[in-house]
């Protein structure tokens, strides 16, 4: 799944509820590009893997994205060389 399939327009997430980022830690290799592109929501663990900001010590892999940050989150997901970051529309959060 790519982010274009998951969320076709900026308003799609707002209409169906908040968007979320989902981190696939099995695909991630800790390069940190997503953290550099989205420091408002992401930080790194000691090994360099992304975590939701403010959740140190928790295994949070689903992160709520505010409407204001959807475009930044989309860029971060699209830039991931390992396709380990996914932007999900509200109805896909299941």
The predicted structure's pLDDT at residue 94: 52
Domain count, the chain: 1
Answer yes or no: is 18 within a domain: no
Residue range of the domain that includes 67? 32-94
Instruction: Provide the CA 77 distance to its chain's centre, in angstroms.
Output: 6
Which residues 6+ apart lie within 8 Å of 24 measured at CB? 61, 83, 84, 85, 86
- CATH code, domain with 74: 3.30.70.20
The predicted structure's pLDDT at residue 89: 87
pLDDT along the chain (94 residues), means of 10: 42 61 94 94 90 71 90 96 93 54
The predicted structure's pLDDT at residue 40: 95
Answer yes or no: is 64 within a domain: yes
């Amino acid at each position: 799944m790519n982010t274009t399939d998951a969320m076709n327009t900026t308003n799609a997430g707002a209409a169906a509820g908040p968007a979320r980022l989902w981190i696939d830690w099995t695909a991630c290799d800790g390069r940190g590009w997503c953290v550099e592109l989205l420091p408002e929501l992401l930080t790194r663990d000691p090994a360099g893997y992304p975590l939701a900001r403010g959740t140190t010590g928790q295994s949070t892999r689903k992160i709520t994205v505010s409407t204001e940050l959807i475009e930044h989150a989309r860029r971060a997901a699209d830039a991931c060389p390992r396709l380990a970051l996914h932007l999900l529309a509200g109805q896909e959060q299941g």
